[in-house]
Structure 1
Amino acid sequence: MSKQVNLHFEEEIYGLLKECSEKYDISVQGVVREAVLHMLSNRKNVTGNGFKFIDLFAGIGGMRLAFEANGGECVFSSEWDKYCQKTYFENFGDLPVGDIRQVDEKEIPDHDILVAGFPCQPFSIAGVSKKNSMGRDHGFKDKTQGTLFFDVVRILDEKRPGAFLLENVKNLKSHDKGRTWEIIMKTLEELDYEVFPFVLDGQGFVPQHRERVYIVGFDRQKFGSEIAFDCLLNKPEKKPVLNDILEREVELKYTLSDKLWNYLQEYSRKHKQKGNGFGFGMPDRYGITRTLSARYYKDGSEILIYQEGKNPRRLTPRECARLQGYPEDFKIVVSDTQAYKQFGNSIVVPLVAEIASNMIDFIENPEGRDGNIQLKFDYFGESLKRRQPIQTGQTAHTSR
C-alpha cells in the first residue's frame, strides 16, 4: 500500500527538479522519490570498526547477510524494485537507493569491498568501432556505456575499493557469443584489478543445484601485481537434503489444482515423446532440487513436492527462503508471488558467506592464508556471527 504526500516547492527548486526530470527521463515525482530514498539510505552514522562494503543491485539483501556474517558493515545499498526495497527495509532498516544510474559515484561512501549481483546485458560495439575508425582512443567507460555493469565500473574507478565480488548467472560466460564476458574481464583488468572468476554450485550448503558465476577482484595498487587467490569452501559435514527445509504443515493453497496438475503431466508427456527433457521436477525428499527460478510463482513446476493421496504442491515462500539459505528470522513481507520472484532471483547465502570469508582472510593476510580461520555459516539461521561453527544436530526444520 502506498501513501500520498503533497509537497510544495518554490519556483526555483521546481525548475531544478524539472531539469533533473528531463536529464534522467523520469517524472518530477520520480526525481523527488529518488532524492528521499538517497537521504534515507544515508541516515545512519557509520562508526563500526569492521570492514565496510556497499551492496549494489541488492535484491532482498542476500549478499548483505553473507558479508555481515563476516563482520562487515554495509554503508550504501541500491535496488530499484519497490517490492525488494520493502523486504530489504523490513529486514535491515535501510531503504536502498532506487536507480544507481542516477547516483553520483563521488557521493557514495568510501568502502573496502564492492558487492554487486548486476544484471546481464549485451554490450554494443558500435561506438567503439566508430572511434577506432576515427583513430580516437576509447576506454572501459565507452565499452560498457549504456549497461548497468557500467555503473559498477564507474564506482570502482572512482572509489577504488580494495576488493569486489560480482555475481551473475553461469551463462554470463557465453552470453552474446562470449563478447559480454570478454568485455567484462578486460574492463576489470583495465581498472587495475586482478580478477578471479569461479563457477560454484550451492549444493552442499543447501539442498539445491544452483550454479552461478562469481567474479572476485583485488586492487593491484594495494596488493601488488602477483596475487594468488583461491576460493576454499568449507561445507557442512552433513549435506543438507530437501527434507531438511520442508514445513510440517502447509496450507491447502500450495497444492496444485487438478487442472494445473493435469496440464503439467500432459506437457511433460508430449515433450518426452519428442525426446526433450522438459517437464516438471519432483525431487526425492532425501536428495536435492533443481535450480529455483524467478518464474517459480507461475506454476512451481521445477520443484514440486510429492504428497501421498493428493496432487503435489509448490514450495512455500518460507521453504524457498530456506532453500536459498536465508535465516529463519528473515522477514517475508510481500505477497507469495513477489516472494517467489525475490528468492528465485537471490543467491545461496551460506555459499556467498564462504566466498566473503575467503576474501576477508586474503585482505587481512595477503602474504599467506590462515587455514585455521574458517567460517561455517548456519543456514538455518540461529547464528549469523562470523566464524562460529555449526553445531551438530541443528538441522531442525524437517518434515517426516
Structure 2
Amino acid sequence: MNIAEFKKNLLQDKISSAQEWFFIISVSLLCMIVFISSDVFLPFLPEMTKYFNTSMSLSQMSLTAFIVGLSLGQIPHGLLSDRFGRKSILNLMIPMFLLATLGCIFSKNIEFFIICRFFQAISASACIVIGRSLFSDVFEPLKAQRAFAVLVPLVSLSPALAPSIGGALSIYFSWRSSFVFVFIFGLIISLFVFIFLPETKPIEKRTKNLSLLSILNNFYIMLTDLKLLYYIFIVCFSTAVWWVYAAGAPLMFHKMDYSAAIIGLLYLPAVIPYFTTSLIARSLLKTKSVNYILNIGINGMMISCLLLFLLESFNALNVWTLMISVTLVTGSNGFLLSTAMSAGILHFSKNSGLVSGLLGTLQLLAGAFSAALIGLFANVFDKHYYVNLTILFIVCGSILSYVLKRKVIKHEAIKSF
C-alpha cells in the first residue's frame, strides 16, 4: 500500500473497498483501546490486592479512577480536536497513554497505580472520541453511518473480550502481563495513527473560537435541538438496558449456582446477536431511513419486554428462557445504538468532536446509572429482579422515545412549512 496515496485518497473519499475496511477496522481498534485497558486486568484483582498489600475495595478504586478519567476526558478532547485537529490531539494523548501504562506496569504501591490508571483513562478517552469523529470527517453521510455500524459493535465486544484475555494471561503470567498486553496494543495503534492517519480536520473546517461563551453557545444549540436529543436518548436508553444485564448477570447466575467460567460464557449469546443486527442495520442503511431502523429496534425491545413479562407470569424463568429473551434485547440494541450514535454525530458534523464527546459521556453515565442500581440491590438481585428492572427500563424508554419522536416530527413539519 502506497501510504501517501492512501492518505490522499482517504481525504477525498476515493479509497478502494479493501482500504476502506482497513481504515474502519483500524479506527475500531483505536476506539477499543479504552475498554481493553479498562477491563483486561480484572481477573488479576485478587493477585494485585495481595501484591500491593492493600484491601480489595482500594484495588477496585483503580477501576473507579479509570471511569472518572474517561468521563472527564471525552468532552474536552472533543472540543480540542474540533479546534486544533484530530491527529494533533492523538499525537499528544497516545504517548501519554503509553507512559501511563508503563507507570501501571512498574507501580510499587496502590496509590501510584491508581494515579496512573486515571491518566491512562484521560488519554484513552481521546482515542474513542476522535475515533468516532473520523468517519464523519472523511466519509459522506451514508458511508459514515455504515462504517459506524461496524465500529460500534466491535467496540462493544471489547468489554466482554478483555477479561477473557486477562484470564488467559493469568494462567501463565503475573498481573503485570495484562498491562504489557495493553502497552503492545497501544504501540500497534500508534503505528496506525503516526503512519497511516492524515489530519482529517483541515484548518478551514476547524472551530475558530474556544472561548467559554462560544462553548456554552454550542452546548445550548445542541441541547435544544430536538433531533439530537432524540438520538442522545436512544443511545442512553439502549446502553442502560444492556448494562442491567452486563452488571447483573454475575449476581443472577451465581444465585442459580453457575460457576464463574460458565457465567463468562453466558455473555456470548448476548454479544453475538448485537453484532449481527448491527451489520444488518448497516445493510439496511442503503435503502432505509434512520427512523425506520430505530423503529425496528424499539419494536424489538417491546417484543422482548412482552416475552419477559410472560415468562415471569407463567413462572418459566430458567437459564435457557432468560438467554432467549436477552438475545432479543441485545439484538434489538444492535439496531439502536450504532444507528443513533452515528446519526447524532453526523447531525452536527461541523462539531463532530464535541458531539462525540457529549454522546460518549452521557452514554457512560447511563451505564453507570444501571450498574449503580444493580449494586444498590446486589443482595437481592436475582432473575426476577433482572426481569422486572429490564421491563421497567424498556417500557419507560419506549414511551419516552415515542414522545420525543413525535415532537421531532412535529417540529420538522413546522420548519418545512
Please tell me the TM-score bracket, short chain as reference: under 0.3
Q: Higher helix proportion, which one?
A: 2
Structure showing greater radius of gyration is 1
Q: Higher strand proportion, which one?
A: 1
Larger RCO (alpha carbons 8 Å, 6+ apart): 2
